[in-house]
């Protein structure tokens, strides 16, 4: 589809290296389709993977142990990721390409780095394991049979991802349903346990008061704290799902890029290895000034605001029912313990809805994570090898998905607890954030015209985010590998 090479004059405005993908074509920015629903979607996908990490497990557990004094750090974590997602959206609506392709244009080795990262991080089925624990208890078990339930949910993932004609549409619909159900159940659950004292403590925690200790309470586990900060919001590689969501939603220049469809029920759409850029004419710039705010507002409302509300409410539940009793459940047991305590206040109804909500949250994360990992692997293979000459992107995606599911299915039987699988993925993902945050700032400053590049505010915010993830990664390595501060 990209048939026209960028002229030398345009290359000054769009100095994007050719790489293995080939030169970008030149097309006009498309007009914005009518309909409010068209403007919804991409950040809902990121929200789906976000709530299943720190929001349900890590931050409630930290709150149960230390009180609400760390909530300011959770909100900071989500806020830093706002800058990341806005810049991911900027590159994709400007070129139609994913962040991974942009990285690979800077240096081919980045493609293989993301390829390895996707395999290493998403073969650990932490989301499936944790959600399956709640599911086992919901159906009368003790949580001990979580592995079998997790295998069932992995099979369900295949049905959802490959059952609908367009993979993204299937993920979006299922995620929207789960997020809607979660919102209703969460509000009901908090209404059953909320107290004035709990609200007062939560407000203090949001404003840096760690239960009488400003900033951080003493004795906090650094390893768990790092994972929690990473998973406040989407974290890890989860944020990067936004670049694919925007692309598959066909926002901006991504409207010129075909979507990944099901090999079983969908019609094949051609997908080029390179995207397109647009001339910064008056018409295109007028359209850009409409596209960019839509994307930015999507990130602000459906990612940042929804995550902040979700993380505060879920942590508040732990503050009300676990912290007063001194209960700090181990890992994935936190959802089950809260459900049992809620049963004492609202009967079996309270227990059932909380367990159902826990499964909805974790399964939506699992669904988005496996889709993201499969997209990362398939795109790198499609753009960096000659496979694109013989196979469609959807064929490579399907094989990557099935391979990840097989890996995950075997990993479930490693003799460890669900929370350990989850925490491993979190910390490994934190290291990738230390890489992709500064890289994202680099490619948007280097490759995009100044007229559509990041503002000073964005540069400062993303610069701070990069520094935070790099420092956290160094501290954890020094602590866990070399014993510094142990």
411-432 pLDDT, tens digit each? 888 776 555 555 555 566 678 8
**The pLDDT of residue 342:** 83
Collapsed DSSP state (helix, strand, coil) of residue 316: helix
Residue-level length of the chain: 486
Among candidate residues 166, 182, 225, the one with its CA nearest the CA of residue 371: 166
Collapsed DSSP state (helix, strand, coil) of residue 261: strand
Q: For residue 11, is pLDDT > 90? A: no
**The pLDDT of residue 21:** 81
Confidence class for position 54, pLDDT limits 50, 70, 90: low
What average pLDDT score do residues 391-407 get? 95
Of 15-19, 64-68, 80-84, 214-218, the range with the lowest mean pLDDT is 214-218
Share of the chain above pLDDT 70, in %: 87
Pairwise CA distance, residues 175 & 363, whole Å: 9
Token pair in block for residue 110: 């980045």
Distance of CA 439 to the CA centre of its chain: 18
State the pTM of this model: 0.91
What average pLDDT score do residues 203-231 get? 69
Contacts of 428 (CB under 8 A, 6+ apart): 117, 120, 121, 124, 236
Pairwise CA distance, residues 32 & 23, whole Å: 26
DSSP secondary structure code for residue 70 in this structure: G
Distance of CA 376 to the CA centre of its chain: 13
**The pLDDT of residue 443:** 96
Of 16-20, 113-117, 383-387, the range with the lowest mean pLDDT is 16-20
User: Which residue reads 């909380």 in tokens?
Assistant: 354
Q: For residue 268, is pLDDT > 60? A: yes
**The pLDDT of residue 108:** 86
What average pLDDT score do residues 163-180 get? 94
Confidence class for position 118, pLDDT limits 50, 70, 90: confident
331 vs 330, which has greater pLDDT?
A: 330
**The pLDDT of residue 28:** 96
**The pLDDT of residue 210:** 53
**The pLDDT of residue 288:** 97
User: Which residue reads 């901006």 in tokens?
Assistant: 252
**The pLDDT of residue 97:** 96
CATH number of the structural domain 8-480? 1.20.1740.10
What average pLDDT score do residues 237-241 get? 90
Token pair in block for residue 396: 């490579």
What average pLDDT score do residues 202-216 get? 70
**The pLDDT of residue 332:** 66
Contact 438, 243 (CB under 8 A): no
Contact 394, 263 (CB under 8 A): yes
Helix (H), strand (E) at residue 44:
helix 42-50
| Listed ranges 9-18, 175-184, 413-422; the one with the highest mean pLDDT | 175-184
Q: For residue 474, is pLDDT > 50? A: yes
Q: Are strands 209-210 and 213-214 parallel, antiparallel or unpaired?
A: antiparallel
Residue 278, Cβ neighbours under 10 Å: how many? 27
Q: Are strands 25-26 and 276-277 parallel, antiparallel or unpaired?
A: parallel
Pairwise CA distance, residues 52 & 42, whole Å: 17
Burial 24-35 (b: 16+ CB within 10 A, else e): bbbbebbeeeee
Residue 171, Cβ neighbours under 10 Å: how many? 28
**Mind listing the pLDDT tens digit for each residue in 318-330?**
999 888 888 888 7
Angle at which helix 71-95 crosses helix 282-298, to 10 degrees, equals: 150
Mean pLDDT of the chain: 86
Pairwise CA distance, residues 326 & 151, whole Å: 34
User: Which residue reads 């919001």 in tokens?
Assistant: 233
Token pair in block for residue 410: 């075997």
Domain ranges for the chain:
8-480
Q: For residue 452, is pLDDT > 80? A: yes
Contact 58, 196 (CB under 8 A): no
Pairwise CA distance, residues 425 & 236, whole Å: 8
Share of the chain above pLDDT 90, in %: 54
- The DSSP code sequence of 161-210 is HHHSSBHHHHHHHHHHHHHHHHHHHHHHHHHHH--HHHHHHHHHHHTTEE
**The pLDDT of residue 1:** 41
Pairwise CA distance, residues 123 & 377, whole Å: 12
What average pLDDT score do residues 103-122 get? 88
Q: For residue 64, is pLDDT > 50? A: yes
Contacts of 13 (CB under 8 A, 6+ apart): 280, 449
Q: For residue 303, is pLDDT > 90? A: yes
DSSP secondary structure code for residue 33 in this structure: P
**The pLDDT of residue 209:** 65
94 vs 130, which has greater pLDDT?
A: 94
Cα–Cα distances (Å) from 445 to 97, 237, 453, in that order, read 16, 21, 6
Pairwise CA distance, residues 154 & 402, whole Å: 10
Q: For residue 3, is pLDDT > 50? A: no
Contact 193, 342 (CB under 8 A): yes
DSSP secondary structure code for residue 30 in this structure: P
Rounded to 5°, the CA angle 198-202-206 comes to 175
**The pLDDT of residue 300:** 96
What average pLDDT score do residues 427-443 get? 86
Q: For residue 244, is pLDDT > 70? A: yes
What average pLDDT score do residues 458-479 get? 86
Pairwise CA distance, residues 189 & 361, whole Å: 15
**The pLDDT of residue 215:** 61
Among candidate residues 243, 301, 291, the one with its CA nearest the CA of residue 88: 243
């Amino acid at each position: 589809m990209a048939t026209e090479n960028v002229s030398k004059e345009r290359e000054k405005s769009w100095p994007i290296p050719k790489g293995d993908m080939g030169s970008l074509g030149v097309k006009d920015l498309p007009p914005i389709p009518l309909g409010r629903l068209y403007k919804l979607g991409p950040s809902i996908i990121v929200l789906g993977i976000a709530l299943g990490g720190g929001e349900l497990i890590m931050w409630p557990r930290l709150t149960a142990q230390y009180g609400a004094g760390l909530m300011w750090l959770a909100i900071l974590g989500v806020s830093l990721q706002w800058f990341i997602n806005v810049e991911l959206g900027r590159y994709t609506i400007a070129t139609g390409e994913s962040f991974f392709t942009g990285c690979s244009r800077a240096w081919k080795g980045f493609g293989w780095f993301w390829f390895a990262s996707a395999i290493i991080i998403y073969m650990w089925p932490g989301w499936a394991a944790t959600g399956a624990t709640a599911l086992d208890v919901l159906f009368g078990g003790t949580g001990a049979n979580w592995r079998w339930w997790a295998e069932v949910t992995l099979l369900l993932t295949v049905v959802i991802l490959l059952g609908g004609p367009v993979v993204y549409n299937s993920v979006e619909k299922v995620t929207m349903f789960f997020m809607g159900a979660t919102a209703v159940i969460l509000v009901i659950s908090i209404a059953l346990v909320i107290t004035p004292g709990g609200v007062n403590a939560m407000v203090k925690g949001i404003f840096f008061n760690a239960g009488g200790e400003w900033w951080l309470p003493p004795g906090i586990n650094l390893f768990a704290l790092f994972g929690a900060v990473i998973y406040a919001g989407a974290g890890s590689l989860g944020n990067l799902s936004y670049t694919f969501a925007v692309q598959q939603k066909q926002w901006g220049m991504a409207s010129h890029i075909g979507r990944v469809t099901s090999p079983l029920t969908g019609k094949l759409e051609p997908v080029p290895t390179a995207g397109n850029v647009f001339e910064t004419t008056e018409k295109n710039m007028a359209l850009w000034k409409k596209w960019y705010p839509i994307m930015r507002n999507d990130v602000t409302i459906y990612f940042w605001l929804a995550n902040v509300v979700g993380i505060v409410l879920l942590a508040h539940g732990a503050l009300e029912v676990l912290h007063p009793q001194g209960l700090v459940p181990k890992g994935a047991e936190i959802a089950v313990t809260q459900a049992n305590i809620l049963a004492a206040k609202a009967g079996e109804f309270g227990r059932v809805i909380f367990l159902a909500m826990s499964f909805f949250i974790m399964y939506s994360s699992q669904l988005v994570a496996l889709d993201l990992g499969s997209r990362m692997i398939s795109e790198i293979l499609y753009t960096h090898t000659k496979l694109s000459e013989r196979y469609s992107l959807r064929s490579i995606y399907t094989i990557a998905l099935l391979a990840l599911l097989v890996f995950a299915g075997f990993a479930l039987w490693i003799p460890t607890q669900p929370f350990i699988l989850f925490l491993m993925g979190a910390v490994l993902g934190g290291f990738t954030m230390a890489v992709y945050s500064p890289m994202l700032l680099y490619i948007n400053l280097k490759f995009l015209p100044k007229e559509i590049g990041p503002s000073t505010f964005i540069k400062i915010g993303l610069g701070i985010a990069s520094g935070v993830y790099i420092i956290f990664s160094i501290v954890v390595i020094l602590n866990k590998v070399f014993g510094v501060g142990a």
